[in-house]
Amino acid sequence: MTQQYGDYEVESFLGKGSIGKVYLARHRRIGRRVALKTVHLEQKFEDDEDRSEFYKRLQREAELCGAIQHPNVVTLYDVGYEDDRVTYLATEYVDGESLLARLRRTRPLPLDEALNIAIDLLRGLAYAHAKGIIHRDIKPANILLTSEGHAKIADFGIARPLHSSLTATRSLVGTPNYMSPEQVRTTPVSTRSDLFSAGAVLHEMLTGLKPFGAPELSAILYNVVNLVPPRVSETNPHVPEAIARVVAKLLEKKPEHRYATADEALADLEMVRKTRAAALDRMELDTLAIGPGDATTPLPTIIDYTPAPLLRRPIPPPVFWLVTLLLIAALGASVMTLRHRIAAEKPVGVISPDRLRIADAKRDSLEAARALAYAGKFEEAIAAYTTHLNRFPQATAAREERDSLQKKVAELKASKAEEPRVTRKPKRVVPEAEPAPEEKKLSRMQRLRRWLNEDTSKPREKKKN
């Protein structure tokens, strides 16, 4: 039986997203194919505030995408609801691949391809910013490439209107390798934050490297705030300096030092593309041109613009391997030095101390109650859960665990009450014989000695009552 969501019939499975599965579906009346993002939550919300924030984000994505109609932005067609909650989003189906998949196949991208993708990306951002919308999660996975090579921005799930008063429950919002310094510091963001993320994506396309990549999350966040990456023209000599200047300006740490708008960055990149195209056209004309004289002059006599090889002579094998070993040793030393530096350095200004303190206290309090429950100290665990709920009354998970534990304790007490009681006869205590009056004056040791000296072979006389 074909699976259906509203008026959409599922054709095939495309992948798994952050909130559920994504299907290729077709509208059963008009036949339009869509990418159907369904909502199937697997995570357990900590409290009602987290659940409410999640559904607000879904509703916000629907509203924002519905307001955007642009060739470089994925179009939203329809939204499904159940009990006033979003259950699916029917968006434009892009027959192609994501930029992330493209980079997995080729790093770095050819210069012209990277330039075209960057221009499409900036066009989409310029349109969204003009509508007062900040995306806040520009990254290769959210940039879809059509079969014709055009780029479209997708997933406005954490986008937010420029002057929105809606707050987020978590401090860090975005993807660490592409976040702006103001996002890492959890300070207010503007449209220039998207430009920083676009610069990080362009840097990766041109060099094949993430500008702030590191083995650990804390090191990545530190690099975003403090590290100035090398210019793309230094990492990849084939990149023109004009493009390197655009990327460097997009990646400025202070927002006021970046481009004021996406249109400004777009104008500079389009100028570079026009200049490059004109230069290639002139080179092609010069290559095909035949000087005055015989019109049958063969093409090999024309000036050759093919770059000459850097090494014209073969390198002897001993020299080649010696240089290779030296480069490997230098690379290993650089990696070890960088790892030690990253381990010694700590990120600053990532999360506010007050929020971190509250989060730690909330986690430690809940873990302490759970530890008492696992240890079998049920009454103490129930008291600990109650203390936790008095301080954090919205903690739904803690409330459910405490109620379940109270129910189990009540069942244990009921089962013990039903067990038959075994009555045991009390032991009979035989009082010691009262010593004779004359023996009371003797000490215990003296009475013991007298008893030992008695002739035990004779039967002792019974005392008269």
What CATH number is attached to the domain comprising 188? 1.10.510.10
Mean pLDDT, rounded, for 434-439: 58
Give pLDDT, residue 224.
96
- The residue ranking higher by pLDDT, 195 or 77, is 195
The dihedral over CA atoms of 230, 231, 235, 237, expressed in degrees to the nearest 10, equals -160
Query: Could you tell me if residue 153 is inside a domain?
Result: yes
In a domain, 254, yes or no: yes
* pLDDT band per the 50, 70, 90 thresholds, residue 294: very low
88 and 102 in a single domain? The answer is: no
Least confident of 34-38, 63-67, 442-446: 442-446
Range picked from 202-216, 274-288, 444-458 for highest mean pLDDT? 202-216
Mean pLDDT within 147-153 = 94
- Average the pLDDT over 53-76 and give the result: 81
Q: Are 49 and 168 in contact (CB under 8 A)?
A: no
By the 10 Å C-beta count (0-12 exposed, 13-18 middle, 19+ buried), 172 is classed as middle
In a domain, 443, yes or no: no
Instruction: Tell me the pLDDT band of 270, cut-offs 50, 70 and 90.
Output: very high
Question: Quick one: 108 and 185 in the same domain?
Answer: yes
| 41 within domain boundaries | yes
> Based on the structure, what is the number of domains in the chain?
3
Predicted local confidence at residue 305, as pLDDT: 36
Q: Specify the higher pLDDT residue, 173 or 100.
A: 100
Which DSSP letter does residue 130 get?
H
Angle at 463 between CA 460 and CA 465, to 5 degrees: 165
pLDDT on residue 230? 96
Contact between 34 and 92 under an 8 Å Cβ cutoff? The reply is: yes
User: What's residue 384's pLDDT?
Assistant: 87
Q: What is the mean pLDDT of the segment spanning 294-306?
A: 38
Question: Is 422 within the bounds of a domain?
Answer: no
pLDDT at 464 over 60: no
Positions marked active-site: 137
What pLDDT is attached to residue 192? 97
263 and 118 assigned to the same domain: yes
Q: What's the CATH number where 33 sits?
A: 3.30.200.20
Kindly tell me the sign of the dihedral angle through the C-alpha atoms of 451, 455, 459, 464.
negative
**Within-domain flag for 456:** no
d(CA 33, CA 78): 12
Neighbouring residues of 140: CB distance < 8 A, sequence distance ≥ 6: 98, 99, 100, 102, 103, 201, 204
Mean pLDDT rounded to a whole number for the chain: 80
Same domain, 53 and 158: no
CA separation for the pair 384, 188 (Å, rounded): 38
User: Please, what is the Cα angle at 274 between 273 and 278, to 5 degrees?
Assistant: 115
Q: What integer pLDDT is reported at residue 421 of this predicted model?
A: 62
pLDDT in tens, 338-392: 777 666 655 444 556 677 778 778 888 888 888 887 777 888 888 888 988 888 8
Whether residues 101 and 79 share a domain: the answer is no
Q: What is the pLDDT of residue 408?
A: 82
Same domain, 110 and 135: yes
Q: What is the domain extent for residue 377? A: 353-409
pLDDT digits (tens, 9 = 90+) for 156-174: 755 555 544 443 434 455 7
Measured CA to CA, the distance from residue 301 to residue 334 in angstroms comes to: 48
Instruction: Say which residue the tokens 């599922």 belong to.
Output: 10
CA 300, distance to chain mean position in Å, is 56
Please tell me whether residues 85 and 100 are part of one structural domain. no
Please check the confidence at residue 412 and state whether its pLDDT lies above 60: yes
Q: pLDDT by residue (tens digit) across 350-359?
A: 556 677 778 7
pLDDT attached to residue 258: 97
Residue 208 and residue 252 in one domain: yes
Reduce the DSSP state of residue 172 to 3 states and report it.
coil
Element (H, E) at 453: helix 444-453
Sign of CA dihedral 168, 169, 171, 176: negative
Map residue 440 onto helix, strand or coil. helix
